[in-house]
Amino acid sequence: MPQLIQRDVLAAEKRIKDEMQKELAVLKDKMVGLEDHVQDQLQATFSVSTDKFKTQLDEMQAQVAKMAEKPVQVPTPAMPESMMKLFSEPPTTQSLEDFWRNSLKENPTRKNTMLESLMRSCMLAYPKKKEDNTRKPARHRGKRQEKTKHLKNNSEMRC
C-alpha cells in the first residue's frame, strides 16, 4: 500500500510539473510578444518625435538667422529737464510738521483734504515722550488680594 501511495504522489507531482512547464512556456511566448510590441512602439514614437524636433530646430535657426540680418535700433533714453532738476537738487530732510506748515503758507486758499487733516491731527496730537521715566506701581485691588491670599497659603504651609 505505501508503494501505491508513493507512485500516485509521484505521478501527481509529474503531472503538476508538466502543467507548470506548459504555462511557463505560454507566458514566455506572451512576454516575448509584448517586448517586441513595446520595442516597435518606442521606435515609432522616437522617430516621429525626433523628426518633429529636427523640423522645429530648423525653423528656430531660420528665425534667428533672419533676426541677425536685421539691424537692431536701441532707443536712447531721454530725460526731461524737469526730471534732471529733481536729480540735481540735494535731498531734503524736512520734518512732516514743517512740510504741513509750509504747504499751508504757500497756498492758504487751498482746502485741506480729509486725509491731510487726519494726518496733521495725528501728528500734532501724538504725545511727546517724557524725559522722566519713573515707573508707577500698579494699584489694582485684585492683585493685592491675590498677594495676600498667596501669603496666607505660604504661612499655612510653614506651620
| Residue range 24-47, pLDDT digits in tens | 999 999 999 999 988 888 888 777
pLDDT given at position 47: 76
Distance CA 86, CA 67 (A): 40
What value does the mean pLDDT take over residues 43-55? 80
pLDDT given at position 107: 63
pLDDT given at position 54: 86
Three-state DSSP state, 29 = helix
Does pTM top 0.95 for this prediction? no
Which run of H or of E encompasses 70?
none
